[in-house]
Structure 1
Amino acid sequence: MSTIAENIAKVRERIREAAQASQRDSATIGLLAVSKTKPAAAIREAHAAGLRDFGENYLQEALGKQLELADLDLTWHFIGPIQSNKTKPIAEHFAWVHSVDRLKIAERLAAQRPAGLPPLNICLQVNVSGEASKSGCTPDELPALAQAVTQLPQLRLRGLMTIPEPTDDPAEQHAAFARLRELRDRLGPGLDSLSMGMSHDLEAAIAEGATWVRIGTALFGARDYGQP
């Protein structure tokens, strides 16, 4: 078994154990492989080991991989910050966008989503930790943004995403993820997705209701940002 396949098995076991501890069905928790900076060959290997959902942060890198891997049945998620001039290819080439944090971006994605494709699945990114360096709307801005996005054609608002301030304190991890769940629940029924939790804190995220955990390092190893 390859290293990536072994890593996938280990992460799936972590998800299963975390779900069991929280009395949740592990089938309701999606494993989103964060493949940024990793070559197409690594994605092909992960696909062979059973993964179908892949998250990318960098548009040009992602589009190149999509061409190279067009023979595979993959679902592509855009999870990075979105510039206005990048919305058209994102709307055309992804099934999910986890990082919508302002109405202008949502409006552009809606207008540029091809009519022949299913609605684009949207998660609104919320800055639950209040970090100045982090993308995401504030909790106070969220209700109006969510209401506006639900009115846009060719988009389907699925839920919320967050990248909280990194911490090794389990209590702080739980608190940040619980905050996102509470914000989602306040928006009312119909939102089924919470994109939260990464390699170091997926257990806390699952305990607080994550439906997507975004895992990169634990699957593919440390990233080399010096690579193109």
Structure 2
Amino acid sequence: MTDLGARLSAIDEQIADAARRAGRDATEISRIVVTKFHPAELVRELASLGVREVGENRQQELSVKRDELEALDLTWHFIGQAQTNKAAAIRRSADIVHSVDRVRLADALHRAVEDDSVLDVLVQINLTPDAGRGGVQPAEAAALAEHVLALPSLRLRGVMAVAPLDEEPASAFARLHRVAEEVRGVAPDATWISAGMTGDFAEAIAAGATHLRIGSAITGPRPDRG
């Protein structure tokens, strides 16, 4: 087994263990491999190991890799902060956008539709008091969800968040779970919770996460961009 395969297997075992401890079925949890800054060849190797869901933080990198790997059976998740002027490019390359955090971005993604396709999206929640961080404040999440529901080319799947560095992940994800319930109050089908990275996915699973975003624990250190 390659080092990449060994790391992938180790993470999958840890996910299964965390799911068992939480009384959950691990098969209901999606593991997204974040390949930020890694070459397309690594994504190709991941696909050969059975990976089907990959995530990218930057629009340009997403677009280039998707074009190069078009023949592979992959689902591409855009998980980074999105600029409205890149909405069309994101929409062309992403199957799912995790980071819809404002009305203007939702509108831009909707306007960028070029056919009768429907784009899966999640509302990103800011779990910190810093308004400059990505994500809508929890109290505003339901209103943004209602706005997304009114855009026919978008399909609201649920919520996404990153746990703050200065708070215990379990506490942060418990708050996210409550926000997810509020969103489901206006969108009953929006059942996804995208939460949990390498250092906190066990806590995210315990709080009901359905999608985990895991990078370097699987891919190894990011390449030197210099």
Question: What is the TM-score of this pair, normalised by structure 1?
Answer: 0.94
TM-aligned CA deviation for residue 53 of structure 1 = 0.6
TM-aligned CA deviation for residue 61 of structure 1 = 1.3
What is the number of residues matched between the two proteins? 223
TM-aligned CA deviation for residue 131 of structure 1 = 3.2
CA contact (8 A) 2:63 2:90 kept: no
Bigger mean CA deviation after superposition, 11-20 or 215-224? 215-224
CA contact (8 A) 2:119 2:154 kept: yes
> Which residue identity does 1:37 align to in structure 2?
F
User: What is the SS of the residue equivalent to 1:160?
Assistant: strand
User: What is the SS of the residue equivalent to 1:15?
Assistant: helix
Counting only pairs closer than 5 Å after superposition, residues 75-114 of structure 1 correspond to structure 2 as: 75-114=75-114
Q: Deviations over 1:146-168 (max 9, x none)?
A: 1111110110001000012125x
CA contact (8 A) 1:91 1:114 kept: no
CA contact (8 A) 1:56 1:79 kept: yes
User: What is the SS of the residue equivalent to 2:129?
Assistant: coil
Identity %: 39
TM-aligned CA deviation for residue 111 of structure 1 = 1.6
User: What is the SS of the residue equivalent to 1:82?
Assistant: coil
Matched, 1:179 2:179: no
Q: Compared with structure 1, are the counterparts of its residues 164 and 131 closer, same or farther at alpha carbon in structure 2 (3 Å cutoff)? A: farther
RMSD: 1.3
Question: What is the TM-score of this pair, normalised by structure 2?
Answer: 0.94
Matched, 1:160 2:156: no
Aligned to 1:217: 216
> Which residue identity does 2:207 align to in structure 1?
E
Q: Which runs of 4+ in 1 moved over 4 A?
A: none
> Which residue identity does 1:131 align to in structure 2?
D
TM-aligned CA deviation for residue 132 of structure 1 = 4.6
Question: What stretches of structure 1 of length at least 5 have no aligned partner?
Answer: none
Aligned to 1:26: 26
Aligned to 1:55: 55
User: What is the SS of the residue equivalent to 2:139?
Assistant: coil
Q: Compared with structure 1, are the counterparts of its residues 197 and 142 closer, same or farther at alpha carbon in structure 2 (3 Å cutoff)? A: same
CA contact (8 A) 2:122 2:156 kept: yes
CA contact (8 A) 1:129 1:176 kept: no
